[in-house]
Amino acid sequence: MKKILMIIFAFPLLAKANSICDNISVSQQVYACSKTSLEKSDADLNNEYKKLLSKVSAKYNSHEELRNEYINKIKLSQRAWVNFRDKNCEVFSYQIEVGTPAYETSMNSCKDKMTQERTKNLVSIQNQ
C-alpha cells in the first residue's frame, strides 16, 4: 500500500519532469531538460550504489574483513569514476565556452549518458 501511495504521489512529479523535455522550442528548455534528466540519472545511480553496498554488506556479513575490503574498493571505484566522468565531460565540452548555457547543457548531457552507463554497471555487479 505504501508503495502504491508513493507511486500515486510521485507520478505527477515525474510527469512534470518529462513535460520539460516535451515540445522543446528554445534553448532554455534544452538546458532544463538536460538538467532534469541528469538529476534523475544521478538519483538512479545513487539508489543502485546504495543497493550494491547493502547487498555486499549482507553477503559478507560473517566475513567482516572481506566485507570492509570489498566495500572500500567499491567506494574508491565510485569516487574515481565520478572524477573520470567529470573530467571526460570537460574534454567532451571543451570547444564550448565555459559558463554558458550551451556548455552546461553539454556537460549535463555527457554526465547523464555516462551516469546511465555506470548505473547499468553497478546493477551488473549486484547480479554477480
pLDDT in tens, 50-108: 999 999 999 999 999 999 999 999 999 999 999 999 999 999 999 999 999 999 999 99
pTM of the model: 0.80
Which pLDDT does position 18 carry in this prediction? 53
Rg of the chain in Å (alpha carbons): 18
Break the chain down into helix, strand, coil percent, rounded to 5.
85, 0, 15
Q: In this model, does residue 15 exceed pLDDT 80?
A: no
pLDDT, residue 11, reads 35
In this structure, are residues 92 and 106 in contact, taking their beta carbons and an 8 Å threshold? yes
Angstrom CA distances, 41 to 37, 107, 111, stand at 6, 14, 9
Domain ranges for the chain: 2-126
Lowest mean pLDDT among 12-21, 88-97, 104-113: 12-21
Q: How far apart are CA 112 and CA 8, in angstroms?
A: 26
Tens digit of pLDDT for each residue in 33-54? 999 999 999 999 999 999 999 9
Task: Please state which CATH number belongs to domain 2-126.
Answer: 1.20.1270.180
User: Looking at the predicted structure, is the pLDDT value of residue 14 above 70?
Assistant: no
- Start-end of H helices in 1-128: 2-20, 27-59, 64-92, 101-126
30: amino acid identity, one letter: V
